[in-house]
Amino acid sequence: MGEKKQYDLVVVGSGPGGYVAAVRAVQLGFKVACVEKAARLGGVCLNVGCIPSKALLDSSEHFIQAKENFSNHGIRFDNLSFDLAVMMARKEKVVADLTDQVEKLLDRHKIDVFHGTARLESPREVAVTVDDGSPKILSAKNILLATGSETVSVPGISIDGDRIVDSTGALSFDAVPEHLVVVGGGYVGLELGSVWRRLGSAVTVVEMLPKIAATMDGRIIRSLERMLRKQGLDFRLETRVSGVTVTNGTVKVAVEGKDGASTLECDRVLVAVGRRPLTRGLNLEAAGVGTDSRTGHVRVNSRYQTDAETVYAIGDLVPGPALAHKASAEGIAAVENMAGKPGEVNYDAIPAVIYTWPEAAAVGITEETAKERRIPYCVGTYPFSGTGRARCMGETDGFVKLICHSKTDRILGVHILGPRAADMIAEGVLAMEFGAGSEDIARTVHGHPTFSEALMEAAQSARKCSIYTS
């Protein structure tokens, strides 16, 4: 079947889980190969996910700030406009620069990269079909599956890549939609809906559940929805899409909600209802790798081994949130386990972020979860309007909410809605990783004036000792 090469580890997939694992394996003395079916390394995250979406979010946020808020700082514009083509080109350059860095990283670590489609032949062999059709057999002591996930569609909606798109298509519109209907009120829908709303689209978000961003803390959800409505997003909650038709460039979306059936007319539809593990074509059965019949996730143990002990799986292929940083952490842990070292991931300390503006970020459990589990807890909150830095920037919306155990003081969750929440949450993650209590954050001196002071104040509030609370 062609040329056969020997490796200690073959990584299938070069996303944030795969390429990080490959580099860590080299550091541990492994001879490593990485297989990637796409022309560029980096996986979904770098090419059509995390990175391009954040590039557009930043560009569109700069525009809306200049349009609506700069005048408050005495900065005025005449005939303010934007060039969508330049904005898209900048996004592509950001992606190209980062994927090039990944390529150089793997090259520097002498990792053999094969661009082609991977298929398991056995628990120790991966067949790679390259572009010219010639097969290669990669033999390895261990195999790591890191192929990520793919978008989920909705019955009655056929994604055509033109008028009806998934998240990849919504990153590359050649014109601003007059009306964009977003099916799904999760992270992706809210972020991409925000991009196009800022650039002038009417945006309607259709969500089956009674709330957006359902995994977030209840107070965060309610406040975020209110802020996004104020920005112009329209939400149709407890509403499902029953069908979509396209006629002469006009898209009609049939929806059914609490008030009955109706039709939304628009020119673009974004389907953003979630993702599923991408295992198609991997030939898992040939290696004895099993999956969950309900979710499609690959079954793994605490060491990330599948049913076949030489085959490991990480990232979106296994249970847990579909987050790039989760995949990276699992990739490192899996490789360390292969090397006989103790590798694990603390799933209680994995942050989640929604990159709207203001940003929403969280780590640990929500107040609702604490109630469900009957955990005795205390809550401390503090608004950004009370911090000097937020006042100086004119970014006073939002708050910090800290949940701690009422008997031990150990921090159970940190939830932030506001400016720079994506960066601020790191302090909460570190605190939880080290088993800190609210007193530890409350007694830590924070720079003044900074946004992070709000976290310190929330921690003090949780201990009933804030100088600003009675």
Contacts of 225 (CB under 8 A, 6+ apart): 211, 212, 235
Given pLDDT bands bounded at 50, 70 and 90, which one contains residue 466?
very low
Q: Which domain holds residue 67?
A: 3-151+276-345
- At 464 the pLDDT is 74
Distance CA 124, CA 110 (A): 21
Distance CA 318, CA 90 (A): 33
- At 470 the pLDDT is 36
In the structure, how many helices (H) and strands (E) does the chain have?
14, 21
Q: Are both 292 and 376 inside the same structural domain?
A: no
Residue range 142-148: average pLDDT? 98
Give yes or no: 448 in active site. yes
Which ranges of 109-186 would DSSP assign to H, the alpha helix?
A: 167-170
Q: Are both 24 and 136 inside the same structural domain?
A: yes
User: Could you tell me if residue 157 is inside a domain?
Assistant: no
| pLDDT above 70: percentage of residues in the chain | 98
Which residue, 233, 254, 270, sits at the end of a domain?
270
Q: Are both 143 and 175 inside the same structural domain?
A: no
Q: pTM for the full model? A: 0.95
| pLDDT above 90: percentage of residues in the chain | 94
Three-class SS state of 260: strand
pLDDT in tens, 293-333: 999 999 999 999 999 999 999 999 999 999 999 999 999 99
Q: How many domains does the chain have?
A: 3
Residues 75 and 68: beta-carbon distance below 8 Å = no
- At 135 the pLDDT is 82
- Bridge partners of 108, per DSSP, are none
What's 422's domain CATH number? 3.30.390.30
User: Could you tell me if residue 470 is inside a domain?
Assistant: no
Phi, psi angle pair for 296, to nearest 5°: 85, 0
Residue ranges of the annotated binding site for NAD(+) are 184-191, 207, 274
Q: How many CB atoms are located within 10 Å of the residue 81 CB?
A: 7
- Our CA dihedral for 152, 157, 159, 164, rounded to 10 degrees, sits at -120
User: Could you tell me if residue 391 is inside a domain?
Assistant: yes
Q: Are both 141 and 180 inside the same structural domain?
A: no
Q: Are both 441 and 340 inside the same structural domain?
A: no
pLDDT at 467 over 50: no
User: Could you tell me if residue 468 is inside a domain?
Assistant: no
Phi, psi angle pair for 253, to nearest 5°: -110, 115
Using DSSP bridges, classify how beta strands 32-36 and 3-12 pair: parallel, antiparallel or unpaired.
parallel
Question: Which residue bears the tokens 């803390």?
Answer: 217
Q: Are both 394 and 442 inside the same structural domain?
A: yes
Distance CA 50, CA 16 (A): 10
Using DSSP bridges, classify how beta strands 179-183 and 202-206 pair: parallel, antiparallel or unpaired.
parallel
Long-range Cβ pairs for the range 194-198 (8 Å, 24+): 194/57, 194/60, 194/228, 194/231, 194/233, 194/356, 194/357, 195/53, 195/56, 195/57, 195/60, 196/60, 196/170, 197/231, 197/232, 197/233, 198/60, 198/61, 198/63, 198/64, 198/231
Can you read off the two tokens belonging to residue 174? 């050649």
pLDDT in tens, 370-400: 999 999 999 999 999 999 999 999 999 999 9
Q: Are both 194 and 266 inside the same structural domain?
A: yes
- At 3 the pLDDT is 63
CA angle 311/317/323 to nearest 5° reads 130
pLDDT in tens, 426-445: 999 999 999 999 999 999 99
Question: Which residue bears the tokens 């076949």?
Answer: 308
Contacts of 323 (CB under 8 A, 6+ apart): 350, 352
Q: Are both 172 and 116 inside the same structural domain?
A: no
What's 305's domain CATH number? 3.50.50.60
Question: Which residue bears the tokens 């010639």?
Answer: 134
Q: Are both 140 and 30 inside the same structural domain?
A: yes
- At 2 the pLDDT is 55
411: left (phi over 0), alpha (psi -120 to 50) or beta: beta
User: Could you tell me if residue 51 is inside a domain?
Assistant: yes
Three-class SS state of 140: strand
User: Could you tell me if residue 409 is inside a domain?
Assistant: yes
Q: Are both 106 and 21 inside the same structural domain?
A: yes
User: Could you tell me if residue 209 is inside a domain?
Assistant: yes
User: Could you tell me if residue 321 is inside a domain?
Assistant: yes
Distance CA 373, CA 125 (A): 45
Given pLDDT bands bounded at 50, 70 and 90, which one contains residue 153?
confident
Q: Are both 203 and 334 inside the same structural domain?
A: no
Lowest pLDDT segment from 34-38, 113-117, 129-133? 129-133
pLDDT at 197 over 70: yes
Residues 398 and 417: beta-carbon distance below 8 Å = yes
pLDDT at 193 over 60: yes
pLDDT at 93 over 60: yes
Which residue, 296, 314, 345, sits at the end of a domain?
345
Residues 349 and 433: beta-carbon distance below 8 Å = yes
Q: Are both 359 and 340 inside the same structural domain?
A: no
pLDDT at 24 over 80: yes
Which residue, 270, 295, 330, sits at the end of a domain?
270
